[in-house]
């Protein structure tokens, strides 16, 4: 089928065996690409109840049918695995140029299996694929590895790398690409490290097949014209996601001091305005992207120039307001440390903030921190904790396992403010006065992340204090937004520049020769959503409603300061949201899909088996 290369690259790191397999057309028609491929393959190929950090786990590196095509921001690579952070379905994606290069080399996806004996690099040059020694790169930072790999192999290579955190199998380790972009969530970097896979380097010279070139060109032109004439384009080009900082703070959703509040009084010091004026040196875009929302920054530390991509909004939220950092250079340095160590800035920031609150409350003391006095806003303490987490030293060896695991060890009620759902730290929105956003976090299939549903606008338009219509909106978003991860494109041109989803459907049909409608694609997205839910149920005996609850802090504890001061949701309100959500999805009151729901989406075998998983 056109739009795809038609080839899967399967790499067994235990034996070194490399196989090229045809991509089944039925998989393309039923799951389209990217996230859809990942969900289906992980479900089918992973033995039940395997250890995420073990040779039986797999990592899928996937593209979509629009990756590498003439569509705005068509450079998305989607990675998936059984997550060591959550022990459930893990998925994260990354911008840049890797997906395009992989398709030009002739592959739609890579399946990584087994475990190498020694550090390795997967080297792909069109049809030539081999494993190189990664010994020389082991121990290097994630960004440094990319630099040295390009020096060794050639500048045109596109690379995925891990840092020391991934090598040491830190459950919040990320995969890095393009000198500062990350597939940050779910600990996929740790699975790379467990497989002793330091990097993948790819270069390709082939054309990507297109079914109807003229139609593809025409729809692509329309999309670019719409982007270029949009009034918000310049804002995004100039400030990127950092433009969200001031707004989020204004409405009281900016995580502050471990989510004690949604308003950071020093926000102007880390806002997009200050960032642009003080540290940004270059704008940076992904493949075929007119937005160029990436910001490359330069800071000075101990007489050295340090370059970092960012800080993005999420980093400003979790390492900035949430840890109390109120200086843009400090924030950028914390960002740099995470990038080189290969740590997810969201989970790492949340872990640091959690430790700070535990210390301030006397739950832990200097005995647990090896003499460090943890206070919000102390930048040197933040830097030290990040280093310790990335290298698994002292207190960092516990903190790097995430706030849920840390709270289990420290106890004394700390679970109440361990800000996670399903073991994944909550990303950048304090949600006690944003019920739709809270429900989005509660029900996200990977844990508390905003990618599948970012619903703060629904909270604003439908009423911040109201629960009415919120579950419906979250369900709609959870079908539409992940479609972009299926197609292999960035969602920002749709979200921020109003590019109509119908144009993406036209582009898909022109590139592949399919004849899909938006309704059919949304149905596929819903099929995938049910499948990832099933993965979580199958892999975690006893899985159900209790896994969808937010942390205790978000059920009954009022926000301390700012425009949402005093706001909270009760347990009854949270239950009301879940009841409505499960009903809309065709799941039972415990959040388990009903057999008839699964059959509706063609998941017949799963409908037969689900009863046996529940009783495990």
Interface residues toward another protein, by CB under 8 A:
231-232, 234-235, 238-239, 241, 243-244, 246-248, 250-251, 268, 271-273, 276, 313-314, 427-429, 450, 454, 456-457, 460, 491-492, 495-498
What is the smallest separation between the CB atom of 476 and another protein, expressed in angstroms? 14
Residue carrying structure tokens 């996670």: 420
Nearer to another protein, 492 or 505 (CB): 492
CB of 254 to another protein, least distance (A): 12
Q: Any idea what DSSP says for residue 119?
A: -
Residue number, 228 or 373, with CB nearest to another protein: 228
Spatial distance between the Cα atoms of 391 and 163, rounded to a whole number of angstroms: 10
Distance CA 374, CA 383 (A): 11
Phi-psi region of 148 (alpha: psi -120 to 50; beta: other; left: phi over 0): alpha
Tokens, residue 85: 């952070």
Minimum Å distance from CB 561 to another protein? 17
496 vs 606 by CB, closer to another protein: 496
Nearest distance, CB of residue 339 and another protein, angstroms: 19
Q: Specify the residue, 468 or 498, whose C-beta has the smaller distance to another protein.
A: 498
Tokens read off for 170: 């830190």
CB of 221 to another protein, least distance (A): 22
Q: Are strands 420-421 and 197-203 parallel, antiparallel or unpaired?
A: unpaired
The answer to whether residues 48 and 261 touch, using CB atoms and an 8 Å cutoff, is no
Nearest to 207 by CA among 69, 109, 128, 104: 104
Measured from the CB atom, is 145 or 564 closer to another protein? 564
Q: Are 285 and 227 in contact (CB under 8 A)?
A: no
For the CB of residue 503, give the shortest distance to another protein in the complex, in Å: 16
In terms of CB distance, is 224 or 247 closer to another protein? 247
CA 231/CA 323 separation, integer angstroms: 34
1-40 in b/e form (b: 16+ CB < 10 A) is bbbbbbbbbbbbbeeeebeeeebeeebbeebbbbbbbbbb
Please, which residues bridge with residue 283 across strands? Answer: 295
CB distance 575 to 503 below 8 Å: no
Nearest CB to another protein, comparing residues 122 and 480: 480
Q: Is the CB of 169 or the CB of 459 nearer to another protein? A: 459
How far apart CA 90 and CA 105 sit, in angstroms, is 26
Strand 109-113 with 7-12, pairing: parallel
Peptide bond between residue 311 and the one before it cis (omega within 30 degrees of 0): yes
For another protein, give the closer residue by CB, 215 or 246: 246
As measured in angstroms, the least distance from the Cβ of 413 to another protein is: 31
175 vs 143: CA distance, rounded Å = 10
What residue has token string 């739709």? 436
CB atoms inside a 10 Å sphere around CB 120:
25
User: If we measure between CA atoms, which residue out of 510, 482, 508 comes closest to residue 495?
Assistant: 482
What residues have CB less than 8 Å from 213, skipping those under 6 apart? Answer: none
Min CB(38)–another protein separation in Å: 22
Residue 300: CB minimum distance to another protein, A: 24
| Closer CB to another protein, 341 or 559, in the complex | 559
Query: Could you tell me the smallest distance in angstroms from the CB atom of residue 444 to another protein?
Result: 13
Nearer to another protein, 264 or 429 (CB): 429
Local structure of 164: helix, strand or coil: helix
Tell me the two tokens of residue 466: 């109201």
Comparing CB distances to another protein, the nearer of 49 and 250 is: 250
CB of 35 to another protein, least distance (A): 18
CB 223 within 8 A of CB 120: no
Choose among 418, 493, 506, 31: nearest CA to 228: 493
Q: Of the two residues 284 and 491, which places its CB atom closer to another protein in the complex?
A: 491
CA dist., res. 238 & res. 235, Å (int)? 5
Q: What's the min distance (Å) between Cβ of 331 and another protein? A: 18
Name the packing angle between helices 518-539 and 34-45 (round to 10°).
30
CB of 500 to another protein, least distance (A): 13
Taking the complex as a whole, how short is the minimal distance between the CB of residue 440 and another protein, in angstroms? 11
Q: Which is nearer to another protein, 276 or 388 (CB)?
A: 276
Q: Which ranges of 195-232 would DSSP assign to H, the alpha helix?
A: 213-228
Cβ contacts of 387 within 8 Å, gap of 6 or more: 337, 341, 393, 396
Nearest distance in Å: CB 268, another protein: 6
Q: Which residue is it, tokens 């909106």?
A: 473
Residues present in the chain in total: 616
Distance in angstroms between the alpha carbons of the first and the last residue of the chain: 40
Distance CA 329, CA 335 (A): 10
Nearest distance from C-beta of residue 243 to another protein, angstroms: 5
- Which residue lies nearer to another protein by CB, 177 or 276? 276
Nearest CB to another protein, comparing residues 266 and 600: 266
């Amino acid at each position: 089928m056109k739009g795809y290369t038609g080839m899967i690259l399967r790499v067994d790191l235990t034996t070194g065996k490399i196989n090229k397999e045809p991509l089944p057309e039925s998989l393309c028609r039923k799951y389209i690409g990217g996230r859809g491929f990942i969900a289906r393959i992980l479900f089918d190929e992973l033995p039940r109840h395997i250890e995420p950090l073990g040779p039986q786990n797999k990592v899928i590196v996937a593209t979509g049918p629009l990756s590498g095509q003439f569509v705005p921001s068509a450079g998305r690579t989607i990675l998936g695995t059984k997550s060591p952070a959550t022990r459930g379905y893990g998925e994260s994606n990354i911008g840049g140029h890797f997906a395009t290069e992989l398709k030009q080399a002739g592959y739609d996806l890579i399946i990584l299996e087994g475990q190498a004996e020694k550090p390795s690099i997967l080297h792909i040059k069109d049809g030539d694929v081999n494993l190189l020694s990664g010994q020389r790169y082991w121990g290097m930072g994630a960004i440094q590895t990319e630099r040295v790999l390009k020096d060794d192999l050639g500048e045109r290579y596109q690379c995925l790398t891990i840092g020391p955190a991934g090598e040491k199998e830190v459950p919040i380790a990320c995969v890095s690409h393009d000198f500062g972009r990350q597939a940050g969530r779910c600990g996929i970097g740790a699975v790379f490290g467990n497989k002793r896979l330091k990097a993948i380097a790819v270069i390709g010279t082939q054309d990507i097949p297109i079914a109807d070139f003229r139609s593809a060109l025409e729809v692509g032109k329309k999309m670019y014209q719409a982007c270029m004439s949009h009034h918000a384009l310049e804002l995004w080009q100039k400030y990127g996601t950092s433009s969200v900082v001031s707004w989020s703070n204004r409405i009281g959703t900016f995580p502050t001091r471990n989510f004690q509040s949604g308003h950071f009084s020093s926000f102007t010091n880390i806002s997009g305005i200050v960032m642009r004026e003080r540290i940004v040196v270059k704008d940076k875009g992904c493949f075929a992207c007119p937005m160029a929302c990436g910001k490359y920054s330069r800071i000075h530390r101990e007489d050295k120039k340090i370059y970092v991509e960012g800080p993005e909004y999420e980093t400003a939220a979790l390492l900035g307001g949430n840890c109390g950092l109120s200086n843009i250079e400090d924030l950028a340095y914390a960002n740099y440390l995470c990038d080189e160590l290969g740590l997810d800035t969201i989970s790492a920031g949340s872990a640091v903030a959690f430790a700070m609150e535990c210390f301030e409350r006397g739950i832990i003391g200097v005995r647990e921190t090896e003499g460090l006095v943890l206070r919000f806003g102390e930048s040197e303490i933040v830097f030290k904790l990040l280093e310790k987490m990335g290298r698994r030293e002292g207190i960092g060896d516990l903190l790097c396992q995430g706030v849920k695991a840390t709270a289990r060890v420290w106890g004394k009620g700390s679970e109440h403010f361990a800000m996670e759902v399903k073991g994944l730290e909550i990303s950048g929105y304090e949600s006690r006065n944003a019920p739709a956003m809270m429900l989005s976090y509660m029900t996200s299939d990977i844990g508390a992340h905003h990618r599948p549903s970012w619903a703060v606008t629904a909270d604003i338009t439908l009423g911040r204090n109201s629960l009415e219509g919120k579950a419906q909106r979250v369900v709609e978003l959870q079908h539409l937004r992940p479609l972009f991860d299926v197609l292999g494109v960035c969602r920002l041109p749709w979200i921020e520049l109003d590019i109509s989803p119908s144009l993406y459907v036209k582009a898909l049909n022109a590139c592949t020769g399919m004849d899909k409608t938006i309704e059919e694609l949304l149905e596929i997205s819903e099929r995938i959503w049910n499948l990832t839910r099933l993965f979580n149920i199958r892999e975690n005996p006893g899985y159900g409603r209790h896994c969808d609850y937010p942390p205790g802090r978000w059920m009954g504890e009022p926000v301390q300061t700012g425009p949402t001061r005093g706001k909270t949701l009760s347990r009854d309100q949270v239950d009301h949201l879940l009841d409505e959500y499960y009903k809309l999805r065709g799941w039972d009151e415990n959040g388990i899909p009903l057999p008839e729901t699964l059959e509706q989406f063609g998941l017949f075998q799963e409908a037969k088996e689900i009863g046996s998983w529940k009783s495990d």
